[in-house]
Amino acid sequence: MALDDWKQNFISSLPRDGSFEDWSESLSDYTTRYDSALPDDLPVIPKAVGEYIQWGKSYDIQLYMMFSFKFIHSQGFKKLTDDVESSIIISSNAFARAWLLGVWRVEETGEIVKLEEEK
């Protein structure tokens, strides 16, 4: 919606004399920046849960298996404490959103973590 509003205001502000060669580049740049922006409602998760996500992604483990704590313990993830397990269970929606988006806000620091995309 914000992008549509901006486009409408942008179009109504174009000069009427046809001198708007650079304006199409501005619109394209704005659209690109808008599309690459992070969502406003990033999931907020504890740092240790974020490390768990990073570990799981690095081994290409499926999301449903990340809830199988017995399996994860058998794979050698040493940081899976009772507190981390509890946090994942209590905030399973935030955990799943962070996993799917590949980006989240760290609860303790406010830092934004964004996983690198596979190449």
For residues 53 and 88, is the Cβ–Cβ distance under 8 A? no
3-12, 20-29, 105-114 — most confident range = 105-114
For residue 50, the model assigns a pLDDT of: 96
Instruction: Output the pTM of the full model.
Output: 0.68
What pLDDT sits at residue 100? 95
- pLDDT, tens only, 21-75: 555 556 667 666 765 666 678 999 999 999 999 999 999 999 999 999 998 888 8
> Which of these, 115, 114, 103, 55, lies nearest to 79 by C-alpha position?
55
Mean pLDDT score across all residues of the chain: 82
